[in-house]
Amino acid sequence: MTPAHQLTLNLSGRLVSLEKPLVMGIVNVTPDSFFAGSRIDGAKALGERLNTLVREGAALADLGAYSSRPGAEEVSPEEERRRLRPALQILRDEYPDLPVSVDTFRSDVARMAVEEYGASMINDISGGGLDPAMYRTMAELQVPYILMHMKGDPKTMQQQASYSDVTLEVIDYFAQRVGQLLELGVHDIILDPGFGFSKTTAQNYELLAQLGSLVEAFTQPLLVGVSRKSMIYRPLGISPEEALNGTTFLHALALERGAKILRVHDVRPAVEAVQLYEELRPVLRSGEGLHYQHLRPL
């Protein structure tokens, strides 16, 4: 018998259902994110961004202070904390009902965010690979952990996009690390295949096409982050600012293949994609639909 998939997340003591996919809105307090429209400078801009997330229906905010774009420069732990603290304070004081995920690969930053500001989740692009204390810290903090696939670090990852079978290697990576986390007592684990991280455009699309294999292999929910990434704008010959339409198209494919969380720059289009997918899903589940062999040429 196939094990049942995880259908809830414990976010600061509140059980949140994953039966309907969730939208996570990106909040970057960085000066160098690859998408200029996501960079936030100052309390006023942050408040406007958070108001937009809430108004457009985001279930989560993902707060990051260290750009993970290819070739990104090093940010010290002190600077990362300095950038995060004012934003975490505003989120805690003014948006207490909006669960906050903190995008960091450092265990001490994760601890600060959870223990001092009540962050609900940690999003680790390195999957524990850049801080050996992260897994034990997550076991102590007992908040959901986003385990992402990446080889190397943001400065070196694009030189490590070598795979015999990218999907199988991502599955093997998750299998090893999920086992370690479960053994330590980390209960809520979300899997992120890491689109754009140590993968070529072709490998990104191969992995997207095979998302269903990841869903079948694990009981943990799947997060997909493709928003405005180079896998969209490079094949189309456009900029990240022009990549919303392509993003929404790939979100629809990811939902159809089993994604439970979409990490996005543009909340409303993603929420609408989820809503329309929910209209379609009962038909997909029942096996009903149009059978083309019944059509006759005019």
Active site residues: 229, 263
* CA–CA separation, 92 and 98 (whole Å): 9
Structure-block tokens of residue 260: 């439970």
Q: Which residue has the tokens 């909340």?
A: 267
| Burial classification of residue 279, based on how many CB atoms lie within 10 Å of its CB (0-12 exposed, 13-18 middle, 19 or more buried) | exposed
Strands 121-124 and 145-148: parallel
d(CA 127, CA 194) in angstroms, rounded, equals 10
Amino acid at 166: V
Q: Pick from 30, 37, 47, 190: which is nearest to 124 by CA? A: 190
